[in-house]
Structure 1
Amino acid sequence: MNPLDGFGMDTITLSGSLEAKLAAMKGAGFMQVMLMARDLVGHPGGVSGAVAAVRASGLRPTGFQVLRDFEGLSGHLHAYKVDIAKSMLEMCAATGSPVLLACSSTSRHASQDPEDLARDLRKLAMLAVPLGIRVAYEGLSWGRTVHEFTTAWDVICRADCPNLGIGLDSFHIFAAKTPLDALLEIDPARIFLVQLSDFMWQETPTFEERMTTARTFRVFPGEGVHSEQLAGLVLQLERIGYCGDYSFEVFNDDYQQLPLEIVAERARRSALWLSEDVLHRAAPLPAWTRPQ
């Protein structure tokens, strides 16, 4: 078993062209990639060129991000966001990504009624059905109404669509200080995406500080001050029966100024720490040691 199986990187973590990012991930031993819409629309060859690059890399898409501020709107704002969602879903399907990530709304124009939020997420999930895409709904730690995974899960349950599940992000869990025991309430089969990162300070007391840290100074698992909590999160997910992928979503301005190979190697060390030291996944024995 490859110790990096089940781990991948988000393209947002690296600088440079899409092809360079994919090559650095592959060179570090990763076999999957979390894509962003900007990877496609900003590619010199357009969407088709970006899709061709992903396919040529041999990396498996973990998912596609990110649809923002979708739920809870009405009138012309709702119609506008539905149109945006349709385009996002088409790009998601073109890359072969199985999951579209949708983040909880931060808009002051959005309803705070959980039934309204559930209704709109149900519509989004239904739009994804013909394309064979699942929707992972994630609670941003600065979301207007939904800013913890517990509240996100409540809305998901209200929507009651089999292809609508939850997206978990360790940064938002630690920033909001949501107890890990709350994961026991979630159906592991409905966890569609898990993104991992850490950061360098214990407290993010305001929404503004959370946003600034999240968008500029995350670090890889094992590099920050929440290593023990992060290990506990991964172990708790394994205990409840989660058997999906983990992707490193590390927004870091310093990493954007480093060579791709150096950042990818840091990610590799993080994946090895989680796989071998935390999860104790056995590495395969060399061929010469196996009994004949």
Structure 2
Amino acid sequence: MSHYSGNIDDFGMDTISLAGPLEAKLKAVREAGFTQIMLAAKDLVTHPDGVDAAVAAVRASGLRVTGFQVLRDFEGLSGHLHDYKMDIAKSMLEMCHALGCRLLLICSSTSVHATSDKAALVRDLRKLAMLAIPMNIRIAYEALSWGRTVNEFPQAWDIICEADMPNLGLGFDSFHMFATNTSLDELDMLDPAKVFLVQLADFMWTEIKSVEERIATARHFRVFPGEGVHSEALAQLVVKLHSLGYRGDYSFEVFNDDYQQMPLPTVAQRAWRSALWLGEDVLRRSVPLPNQIRLKR
């Protein structure tokens, strides 16, 4: 395996793993060692002093914003539903822009009111990408494993290719790939320059027996890479993406109810341990680290 020339800064945490106010989350993530953080719209709109204060706190933290999430159930709607979602999209883009963030995440629609007509999905994603161009924002389209029409990344990739917009690319989430048992070989079709974000998470069981269990696992029981039963698959995935030429960000997308009940520094340290495992052991790179951060696995 070739030596990896990047550094630990490629890995970031997501606020969804942490409880408490935004400032406390930012502090915990920064003090654990991370230089970037994935933010949700909720982080801004629930701030007691409003969106501007939240943006100021993020800018003051010195953390780079990996991306902003998440626009849901957007594509494939018509009439007043389409107009409504366009409104939501504009609001999300404005908040993303205010943060100085260059990436908005959108996940494939689960709406029963959305058409499965591919041309309509392509048209809507192209429209969204057009809106984002003046703000210098890229759109990362992610296949939710319970999406109505698009539920595996090859389908999302197909639509992205057809839409053919420079700022529209793939948002890739390892959880959904493992949940649908999509083959690693499918990654060969991707252009690494059009993979805009890779989100990583593990979980504690080997098989998921129903869509209901998949949704529950995704929203409540994810764990950090290396903490679950898919460590080997995650390692293979990261190495494969690297060998294909992916050099973008990795964010830990870990929804976990237990972590919401733990002190922020404890959770952030668990995430940092994952970053070290992936960075040092999996991608074979050496990073000089202060002794107090080097946690034994």
TM-score by length of structure 2 reads 0.94
In the TM superposition, 1:24-35 aligns within 5 A as 24-35=28-39
Shift of 1:206: 1.8
RMSD of aligned alpha carbons: 1.3
Amino acid in the other structure paired with 1:140 = L
> Please, which of 265, 268, 271 is the counterpart of residue 264 of structure 1?
268
The amino acid across from 1:94 in the alignment is A
| Matching residue of 2:173 | 169
Structure 2 counterpart SS, 1:165: strand
Structure 2: runs of 5 or more not aligned: 291-297
Q: Point out 4+ residue stretches in structure 1 off by more than 6 angstroms.
A: none
- SS of 2:12's partner is strand
Relative distance call for 1:188 and 1:2 in structure 2 (3 A) is: closer
Other-structure match for 1:136: 140
Q: Which residue of 1 aligns with 2:124?
A: 120
Q: 2:208 aligns with which of 166, 190, 204?
A: 204
User: Does residue 217 of the first structure (1) align with residue 217 of the second (2)?
Assistant: no
> Which one-letter code corresponds to 1:27 in the other structure?
E
Post-superposition Cα deviations, 1:198-234, rounded to whole Å, max 9, x if no partner, equal 0001111322111100000000000000000000110
2:77 to 54, 60, 73: 73
Q: Measure how far apart 1:97 and its partner are.
A: 1.0
Structure 2 counterpart of 1:246, one-letter code: Y
Q: Which of the numbers 151, 158, 164 marks the counterpart of 1:154?
A: 158
Equivalenced residues, count: 286
Residue number among 56, 60, 67 corresponding to 1:52 in the alignment? 56
Contact 1:2 1:284 in 2 (8 A): no
Residue-by-residue CA offset, 1:71-99 (whole Å, 9 max, x unaligned): 00000000000010000000000011110
Identity, in percent, stands at 70
Structure 1: tracts of 5 or more residues without a match = 287-292
Verify: 1:189 aligned to 2:190, yes or no. no
- Match status 1:145 vs 2:146: no
Tell me by how many angstroms 1:4 deviates. 2.4
TM-score by length of 1: 0.96
In 2, the alpha carbon distance for the partners of 1:235 and 1:180 equals 11
